[in-house]
Amino acid sequence: MLRKTLLATLTLGLALNATAQTAPASPNMDPELRSQARRAIDGGLHYLRKQQGPDGSIMKSVGVTALALRAFLESPRRYNETDGPFITRPIEFILANARPDGSICERLQETGYNTAVAITALAATKNPKYRTVIENGRKFLLDHQTDEGEGYKPDHRFYGGIGYGGGERPDLANTVIALEGLKAAATDPKDPVWQKALTFVSRSQNRSESNDQSWAANDGGFIYMPGANLPMYGTGTSSYGSMTAAGLLSLLYAGTDKNDPRVKAAYQWLSKNFSLDVNPGTTTQHTLFYFYNAYAKVMAAYGEDTFVDGNGQRRNWRNELTAKLVAQQRADGSWINTGSRAFWEDKPELVTAWAVLALEQVMK
């Protein structure tokens, strides 16, 4: 009898612990898919842990290491530094690559991108020890913005944008990453960086009512940078999914209200063009997992569980994205983009981090 009582108590304790570690459930998400998402996250994190080198890094990359670290810190299990070296070593690797100018990067290229994801991961630790490194990184991103400091005037199409670092042109893909980093670093909402960024973001949207560039159309979607897309998506200035998700997320990070016409237009574009098989607006799978990550973040931030697509069908983005990612997970817990090698999406270390982060947004 005593043995049964102890066993029941232990079972109850484990159940309560699991419940305490689970993020609050969305009332409009299928419970079974929610359980599958949690298992997929666990599998992905197990894979990422096995990819860590002795120094805690993954692929010797600050960017990939920081994305994976954030995936651990924001998982339903809420891993933290008390859990041991698989958390503390990646942090030490990131800190070891902090430079005197405030950037956090293992090489001189992609300083903006890596600094942004690094300070976002450090902020996710909620450890005040890293405040100085985060603040230095924040200042680096502010200086990295294309503005008067580099001789640009507000009427230039690149004004307010932020690029990789190492390249001289800003783009929307990196601007949203930088804005996420600035937000994580508690940048004052009244700081000029936000309004400058909104100038660049608005000039990347196909909405002529709010875009002063002559090329702008009116479907509400976004492109890679004002006046141009990446060659892999063809010539022209057609809107596509990953950049529309990035553009809408940038608007929300900068404090734009949901009722703003720019926000409404971008949300309508994503709803109308919904697809998880290709990068919406294209016929390719280029940057598909970047899209999954940005889409999950923006839909969680927007706050609507369902929407009506271009065919008049009501869709539940949480259920559908979960089902898609669970189906694509490999036996070792990893993901890979089998349809494109662009932007390292043939690297399971990076793609797995993107997929886990997307699923963590699904569970919010």
353 touches 12 (CB < 8 A) = no
**% of the chain exceeding 90 in pLDDT:** 88
- For 204, the token pair is 């990347």
pLDDT of residue 232: 87
- Best CA proximity match to 31, nearest among 356, 359, 318: 318
Lowest mean per-residue pLDDT among 22-31, 58-67, 82-91, 184-193: 22-31
The neighbour count for residue 255, using CB atoms within 10 Å, is 13
**318/277 Cα distance (integer angstroms):** 15
């479907």: which residue's tokens?
219
Report pLDDT digits (tens) over 208-231: 999 999 999 999 999 999 999 988
Strands of 64-183 (E only): list them.
none
- Domain ranges for the chain: 29-362
Rounded CA Rg of the chain: 21
**285/180 Cα distance (integer angstroms):** 24
**74/68 Cα distance (integer angstroms):** 10
The neighbour count for residue 344, using CB atoms within 10 Å, is 18
**282/295 Cα distance (integer angstroms):** 15
Class of domain 29-362: mainly alpha
Residue 27's pLDDT band, with cuts at 50, 70 and 90, is low
Q: Span 222-250, mean pLDDT?
A: 93
pLDDT of residue 25: 54
Q: C-alpha 200: how far from its chain's center? A: 19
Q: C-alpha 235: how far from its chain's center? A: 26
3-state secondary structure 223-276: CCECCECCHHHCCCCCCCHHHHHHHHHHHHHCCCCCCCHHHHHHHHHHHHCCCC
**172/30 Cα distance (integer angstroms):** 33
**53/59 Cα distance (integer angstroms):** 8
Between strands 314-316 and 306-308, the pairing is antiparallel
Greatest alpha-carbon span in the chain? 80
Q: Is the pLDDT of residue 85 over 80?
A: yes
pLDDT of residue 22: 41
**34/319 Cα distance (integer angstroms):** 8
Q: Is the pLDDT of residue 15 over 90?
A: no
Report pLDDT digits (tens) over 286-327: 999 999 999 999 999 999 999 999 999 999 999 999 999 999
| pTM score of the predicted model | 0.91
């990131």: which residue's tokens?
94
3-state secondary structure 38-79: HHHHHHHHHHHHHHCCCCCCECCEHHHHHHHHHHHHCCCCCC
Q: Is the pLDDT of residue 6 over 80?
A: no
Q: Which residues of 49-85 are buried (b: 16+ CB within 10 A; e: fewer)?
A: bebbeeebbbbebbbbbbbbbbbbbbbbbebeeeeee
CA distances to 67, 203, 323, 344, 359 from 329, in Å: 18, 37, 10, 17, 12
Strand partners, 61: 58
Q: Is the pLDDT of residue 184 over 60?
A: yes
pLDDT of residue 7: 36
**330/122 Cα distance (integer angstroms):** 29
